[in-house]
Amino acid sequence: MSLSEHINWNSDGLVAAIAQDWQSGEVLMMAWMNAEALQLTLIEQRAIYYSRSREKHWRKGEQSGNVQQLKELRLDCDGDTVLLKVEQLGGIACHTGRRNCFYRLADAIGELSITDEVLREPDDMYGDNKQ
């Protein structure tokens, strides 16, 4: 039975993918994979996601250089989420230029504050084309 057959694909044929820094444990981002993206991730040993807006897979870091090298891939109990332990090249996972995507902290009443600085300007990473 292949990995794909163990996955409980959603109605769009996707599985949620959490990327975590393999050393610090920092949760970097959450994105989606279709069967092709998952297969390519294993073959190329780097994170490859599926873009729901652009309807195609994309190699994380292809433009920015912020590649996620795969160290470990895990599947959860009900098969609808994979956990990627990765080495985040460049130290930036977020398209906003921050270390990770979870830079907005909610207080007890739900007010948000930004806790992480932009390390590199998106225009510098992507020009006009973000990913």
Q: Which residues make up the interface to its own copies (CB under 8 A)?
A: 2-4, 6, 16, 18, 20, 24-27, 29-30, 39, 42, 45, 72-78, 80-81, 83, 94-96, 98, 101-106, 108-112
Nearest distance from C-beta of residue 2 to its own copies, angstroms: 6
Nearest distance from C-beta of residue 53 to its own copies, angstroms: 10
CB 17, CB 30: distance < 8 Å: yes
Nearest distance from C-beta of residue 3 to its own copies, angstroms: 3
> Which residue lies nearer to its own copies by CB, 69 or 81?
81
> Which residue lies nearer to its own copies by CB, 27 or 89?
27
